[in-house]
């Protein structure tokens, strides 16, 4: 993702990469830096956000692991005049739309589960996209209650996030794929999104970087930028 972000920025007329920070480098930023893009690891990402905030720099977070609880803690501890943080679980426009569709359908079905698959090298599971989707489903069903998920005490039933079981696959030959399955009497609705190449993330990265200077507070997802 770091290489892809650099390629996208290189293609933008009004942005450039002025510093690259690796895992062995100190979290200090050059004076020429106007904004930070974090595409690290879940255990490292909060430190990057903290360092950017301390330096007075807005930060775009493209790292998984930012659950609703972690985002809530970030919001609770930030002064009103703190620089903006934009957290994007998935830079794909199609993934944003799929999550919106799942949220809209969630009030019509009692049985809902998520199956997500990523390449074998992905460091975390479930994916940030799956967690964000489950949390949105739960929010949409706040007046209806949790989804129907029998036998969750069995290990093979996946990890529950906001009552929604998530099943994670890590396989060679896969880039990124997510199915939200919604079951009702006599029918099954599947909302599927699949990424076949990292180029799918380029438009979202470009949009997020361009929007970051005008943002305030903590923003989650591309949806506010795409759909308002």
CA 202 to chain centre: 15
Catalytic: 118?
yes
Catalytic-labelled residue, pool 118, 119, 177, 193: 118
Catalytic-labelled residue, pool 122, 167, 177, 193: 122
Alpha carbon distance 132, 9 (integer Å): 26
Alpha carbon distance 190, 213 (integer Å): 37
Q: Is the separation of the CB atoms in 18 and 33 below 8 Å?
A: yes
Three-class DSSP category at 137: helix
Residue showing tokens 């696959």: 169
Catalytic: 122?
yes
Q: Show which residues are catalytic.
A: 118, 122
């Amino acid at each position: 993702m770091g290489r892809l972000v650099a390629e996208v920025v290189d293609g933008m007329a009004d942005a450039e990469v002025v510093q690259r920070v690796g895992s062995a480098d100190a979290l200090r930023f050059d004076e020429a830096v106007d904004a930070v893009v974090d595409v690290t690891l879940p255990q490292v990402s909060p430190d990057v956000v903290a360092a950017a905030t301390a330096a007075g720099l807005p930060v775009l977070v493209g790292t998984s692991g930012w659950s609703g609880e972690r985002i809530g803690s970030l919001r609770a501890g930030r002064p009103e005049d703190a620089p903006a943080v934009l957290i994007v679980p998935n830079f794909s426009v199609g993934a944003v739309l799929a999550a919106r569709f799942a949220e809209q359908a969630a009030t019509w079905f009692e049985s809902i589960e998520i199956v997500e698959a990523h390449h074998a090298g992905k460091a975390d599971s479930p994916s940030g996209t799956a967690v964000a989707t489950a949390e949105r489903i739960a929010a949409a069903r706040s007046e209806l209650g949790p989804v129907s998920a029998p036998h969750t005490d069995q290990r093979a039933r996946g990890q529950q996030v906001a009552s929604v079981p998530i099943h994670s696959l890590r396989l060679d030959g896969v880039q990124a794929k997510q199915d939200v399955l919604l079951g009702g009497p006599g029918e099954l609705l599947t909302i599927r999104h699949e990424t076949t190449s990292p180029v799918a993330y380029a438009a979202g990265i470009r949009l997020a970087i361009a929007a970051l200077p005008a943002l305030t507070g903590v923003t989650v997802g591309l949806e506010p930028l795409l759909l308002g």
